[in-house]
Amino acid sequence: MAVSACAGLRDSPEQELAYTRWRACEPPSGLVDIDRVEPDGRIWFSYFVESERQKVITCLSKADQGGGPSLPTPVGIFRGKGGA
C-alpha cells in the first residue's frame, strides 16, 4: 500500500521541467525564493527586489522560447523584509 501512495507524490513532467528551468534562472543573490510549482508547471516565487523579479521572469521567458514545452507564466509575489 505504501508503494502505491508514494507513486502519487512524484512531480509531473511539467513540474520537473519547471524546476530545471528555475535552477538555471535562480539568481545567486538570495533575494528570490521559489515557493511552489503547480502540476501544470506554473512557478510561484517570492522576491524582495523588483530588479531580481524581472531577471527571473526574463530568464524563464527565454527558457520557454528555447525549445521544449511551454509552461504557464510564472507568478512573483513581493515579500517585504522586516519582522512581524
What is the percentage of the chain residues whose pLDDT exceeds 70? 86
Report residue 68 as a C-alpha cell.
521544449
The confidence band for 9, taking pLDDT boundaries of 50, 70 and 90, is: confident
Indicate the range of 2-6, 19-23, 26-30, 75-79 predicted with least confidence. 2-6
pTM, entire model? 0.84
The domain spans of the chain are 12-78
Q: How many residues does the chain have?
A: 84
The mean predicted confidence, pLDDT, of the chain is 89
The confidence band for 82, taking pLDDT boundaries of 50, 70 and 90, is: low
Nearest to 17, CA basis, from 77, 56, 70 = 70
